[in-house]
Chain A
């Protein structure tokens, strides 16, 4: 249960960071997370954060129609363009958290 709440909290931090400052906050927040917590969770949180933001955009405008148009322009399926963002955030988050974890391990080994 605690892990679930932590994941939600991390996703929230990533979503807020993205909204306030941009995409690059995702790996940064994840790296900070990785310093203290297990990095695997960051992947899920990244996915969830950007999926939630996309869902929020869908309440404000025709996201699905835009996905169709983009799919036509980029010659890929509409679902792939929709999935690309959350996947990007998940991978960036995981990579950032892993780096954070590595730093933590090095600190622990040194200290």
Chain B
């Protein structure tokens, strides 16, 4: 090679590598800084190694705070003041979950594009259009700066920022390396963003939208029964006078003619909603809680079990912690990364947990506007009102503007264009509230009554708060703001926004919330079902309730348990039994028998019925019959409820796949719904459809999974759970986890489910409080840490650890101490 050629080649190489190191080329990080073995991505490995905590100087502390990490990587914070505890908690959460803090904040704020690029611009637009960040900023501005909640989120933010401020670039977590980004500073209001996001997840569904969509498909009469205000099977949270499940099954009106154009328009509105939070899969969603009074426990102490189900992610949605402030607070449990305090847990006197109520707290209004393309005013009661306009700029990673939107707000809330019309929303998630304050106050309660009083100020998302104390009181209340609407009070419709007469008129008084204190039956349970039997309290709280199968199963077990123990409670968390299967297997078997009697059965149907009959109705990972039942149910839905299949998609909206509906139909052998519209010359009966579904399910299962006694049919293989990394990077995720549970069991799971039990906790309220818990993940957000996903095998197997709850650091056995960190006060830099 000639010197000139060598020179040209080396200059070109230097130029190329230098350019690739100076700026990002597409999604790839800058080459030089990334590959640098000292400062680049490899530094993450060194940052993973255990480092003795030693001493940390933290500005703003009033006194030293001692933190002992136990062998489960759970920090026990011993502080002198509550604010010191929250400041240190912020530091620790930032250390363990920094990327999670940033990602969840950006998801709510609609600024993911700045981190991840234009690929997520649509999600950002959908998030901002919801108005969550706008509402969080408003709530923060309205907070009383002297309130505990305001001071706590400020102290927490200072802790987070102290950690970020002390970071060298070589300490940035792996995700920042891959994205070539720096952590953003944490603002106190970001804690409120987090509560907004929880509101979106748990209270972001409007039965009115579902009902109108169903009405467009099958007519108003059928929609009234399908998206029912009252569940046809009543097993309410507030114990009813009935003392067990009560069925109130009415004939399902026949399907009416579809209005396809209207169905399309409503599907468009739903699609806009789902763009921000994903579709609702009723089979996979579900939280549980239950408590047992001392009279029904072996040891004579109240027991409480918590089992909130949320999206499963790595790192987990929860962070386990123990906060001890002598004379003020001594509480352990799980905190949401980004929020100070323990959200679900226990103190020295009581334990509490939540399930989602699913109340109807979101209404849509069709608005009349002055300009369909770019409205500036909307009409109410014949008068034009000005819209509040807000310009939103979306930026990419380099700060380049990607898009600009104008958000519009009526007096009800944000308004958006859907198809040719403008629709505004009113939503309790956007109303003034102070959830953080409520949770902090509730954690300090010493009796169940005090806890319930603290929860009176709670607004959103409505939650079935269950509490048990050492005095033996168990209590539950479905807390939150239930809007009072005019007329019949129902919110399961889309309203005409041109009249103010449809606006909310206040909120249901706390005294009318569903609930029970010290029930005579000696136990309480909730599983997202309709909270109260309408015979006991007819107030409209919502519609389209999840089927109460989990509640029925839990209550059945609790009724049969006169001497409950913590171990029994822990086992219940993953009990593989199913009230849904108990209700729906017999109709399939009866249909097959009827076909046999009428001479219509063939060998496939006989084999399918035999295999289904062998099923013990348990969803164990090794079970080889559950899949046949699930495929049969899918087929039955598709065949019987084909009128509900959405135009264009060829699929059901998952929201309609309420198994109560199928159960109701099985009680009516001659329902018009059983008829297959594709065979006009023949009217199918229930037994024909169920038998055909069973037959088709067997054919499908044989084709997909092979021999019914082979490993291919094992439930854990065909129906596993995926726990995705927050940024959905497969290499940082744990997928295909076999779990003990199926659709609408206590540990519900959808196929390749991404939701599940996010925290399992059992607390025994004896003279010394004892507790057990686990969650699917680990304390660290670092994928290389031994504490990143260490609890998943235990979680999948239904196990849990005993939670250490020391009164002082010396109570922790030395062999169980992972690390000790002392935080020292330091003057703030001037």
Contact = CB atoms under 8 A, between A and B. Distances in A.
A61 B46 contact: yes
B731 A99 contact: no
A69 B37 contact: no
A60 B37 CA distance: 12
Interface string A25-64: 0010000000000010000000000100110111011110
Interface centre among B6, B21, B36, B783 (most CB of A within 10 A): B36
Given A72-B730, A88-B35, A23 B14 contact: no
Interface string B44-70: 111111000000000000000000000
A12 B36 CA distance: 15
Given A73-B732, A98-B6, A18 B42 contact: no
A28 B732 CA distance: 36
A61 B178 contact: no
Contacts, number: 119
B19 interface: no
Contact of B13 (A24, A95, A105): A95
B784 interface: yes
Q: How large is the interface on B (under 10, 10 to 19, 20 to 34, 35 or more residues)?
A: 35 or more
Contact of B3 (A57, A61, A91, A102): A102
B27 to A, nearest CB: 10
A66 B784 contact: yes
Contacts of A27: 14, 18
Contacts of B731: 68-73
B39 A23 contact: yes
B164 to A, nearest CB: 21
Contacts of A101: 3
Contacts of A91: 13, 17
Nearest to B175: A73
Contacts of A97: 10
Contacts of B7: 98-99, 102
A24 B174 contact: no
Contacts of A53: 37-38
A89 B18 CA distance: 11
A72 to B, nearest CB: 2
B790 to A, nearest CB: 14
A98 B48 CA distance: 39
Contacts of A99: 7, 10-11, 14
B11 A88 contact: no
A84 B35 contact: yes
A6 interface: no
A45 to B, nearest CB: 14
Contact of A62 (B3, B14, B36, B45): B45
A88 B346 CA distance: 54
Contacts of B141: none
Nearest to A98: B10
Contact of B46 (A57, A73, A102): A57
B41 interface: yes
B40 interface: yes
B729 interface: yes
Contacts of B587: none
B117 interface: no
A85 B36 contact: yes
- Label chain B's interface by main secondary structure: helix
B32 interface: yes
Contacts of A85: 35-37, 40, 42
Interface residues of A, number: 40
Given A18-B36, A53-B37, A69-B174, A60 B14 contact: no
A38 to B, nearest CB: 12
Interface in B149-177: 174
A23 B35 contact: yes
A62 B47 CA distance: 10
A62 B785 CA distance: 9
Contact of B784 (A69, A88, A89): A69
Interface string B1-33: 001001101110110011001000000000111
A57 B21 contact: no
Contact of A105 (B3, B14, B45, B46): B3
A105 B13 CA distance: 20
A54 B361 CA distance: 56
B13 A88 contact: no
A62 B784 contact: yes
Interface centre among B11, B35, B40, B49 (most CB of A within 10 A): B35
B45 A61 contact: yes
B359 interface: no
A92 interface: yes
Contacts of A73: 178, 729, 731-732
A56 B43 CA distance: 11
Given A57-B43, A94-B10, A105-B3, A69 B783 contact: yes
Interface string A71-100: 111000000000011001101101111110
Contacts of A18: 36-39
29 contacts: A18-B36, A19-B38, A22-B32, A23-B35, A27-B18, A39-B10, A50-B37, A53-B38, A54-B37, A57-B38, A57-B46, A58-B45, A61-B45, A61-B47, A61-B784, A66-B174, A66-B784, A68-B731, A72-B729, A72-B731, A85-B35, A85-B37, A85-B42, A92-B17, A92-B32, A96-B10, A97-B10, A98-B6, A101-B3
Across the A-B interface, the 3 shortest Cβ-Cβ residue pairs = A72-B731, A61-B45, A98-B10
Interface of A: 18-19, 22-24, 27, 39, 50, 53-54, 56-58, 60-63, 65-66, 68-73, 84-85, 88-89, 91-92, 94-99, 101-102, 105
Given A53-B37, A56-B37, 19 more contacts: A18-B36, A22-B32, A23-B39, A23-B40, A24-B32, A50-B35, A53-B38, A57-B43, A61-B47, A62-B49, A66-B174, A69-B174, A72-B730, A72-B731, A84-B35, A95-B11, A98-B9, A98-B10, A99-B14
